[in-house]
Amino acid sequence: MGMKAAVFLGGGNITGALAAGLRLAGYDEEIVVYDRHPEKLRALRRKSRVEIARDLKSAVERAGMLVIAVRPASVMGMVGEVAACGVAAPKLCVSLAAGIPLQNLRAWLAVPWVRAMPSPVARVGRGLTALSFDRGVTKSERNHVRSFFEHIGAVLEISEKQFDTFTAAYSSSHGYHALATLAKAAQEVGLDRATALAAAAHALSDGILYWRQSGRRLEDLLREAVTPGGIAAATMSAMDAAGYLRVVKAGIRAGVKQARLNARR
């Protein structure tokens, strides 16, 4: 039996993205994964050098840190299996599940828990992970979790009260959705598909990259890009007047509501 490792229960999308991002960042320690689909495990071993756990018990035995990476509806069952597997769970347990509160996790398995919300963009090393800790998590365990996720991008520690809103707001789907919507609108008004996508991708991605890299204030960049009385000004005020903020807020609220439903199932 090898050394204690980071052990993922669930070898799906997010585990695949995290494992790839960790390897890309040069993370050289063992990553152990357990899943009920052997073919997913073999693909992860091939792509990201993970070690396959043959069953749940051996996975839990290996765990210095146990990461629950199954769908929210499967978390209670998975954690119940851990509690009943006959080996003591490690003291450091992390849940990636959207919407499942620390309180529920604690009730299913009595250890101090960490909630982590990573991004699939971790795959290319540009992740962003929010963390929220149970009070019982020690300072050195906090640092351990933080540096683990720092391999694949920035880490924010937030209060659990903010967690669901963060989850709804930070998803990389917003970038893809905005790109698809802006390109579709431009296409309907007269651009061909390829030109519309190129224009929209520049507008969103390069503009935001410029904001990040320059360190300039958003207000100043808006002033630079939006000439009074010009085209961008007309476009932006028509969008605002049509309820841009209102529709985006409705989306975020719906996401938060969905996250809260996960807590009750």
Write out the residues near ligand NAP by the rule CB under 6 A.
10-15, 35-37, 40, 69-72, 74, 77-78, 81, 96-98, 117-118, 120
Residue number of the CB closest to ligand NAP reads 12
Toward ligand NAP, which CB reaches closer, 186 or 255?
255
In whole angstroms, how close is the CB of 70 to ligand NAP at the nearest point?
Answer: 4
In whole angstroms, how close is the CB of 42 to ligand NAP at the nearest point?
Answer: 13
Torsion-angle region of 27 (φ positive above 0: left; ψ -120 to 50: alpha; else: beta): beta
Q: Taking the CB of residue 73, how many other CB atoms lie within 10 A of it?
A: 11
In whole angstroms, how close is the CB of 139 to ligand NAP at the nearest point?
Answer: 25
Toward ligand NAP, which CB reaches closer, 14 or 186?
14
Q: How far, CA to CA in Å, does 171 sit from each of 13, 89, 118, 129, 225?
A: 14, 31, 9, 11, 26
C-beta contacts of 252-256 below 8 A and 24+ residues apart: 252/165, 252/168, 252/169, 253/168, 254/168, 255/164, 255/167, 255/168, 255/169, 255/171, 256/164, 256/165, 256/167, 256/168
Alpha carbons 171 and 21: distance in angstroms, whole number:
17
Toward ligand NAP, which CB reaches closer, 194 or 261?
261
In whole angstroms, how close is the CB of 147 to ligand NAP at the nearest point?
Answer: 19
Toward ligand NAP, which CB reaches closer, 114 or 196?
114
- State residue 53 phi and psi, 5-degree precision: -90, 130
In whole angstroms, how close is the CB of 16 to ligand NAP at the nearest point?
Answer: 7
Toward ligand NAP, which CB reaches closer, 116 or 197?
116
Toward ligand NAP, which CB reaches closer, 34 or 196?
34
In whole angstroms, how close is the CB of 191 to ligand NAP at the nearest point?
Answer: 30
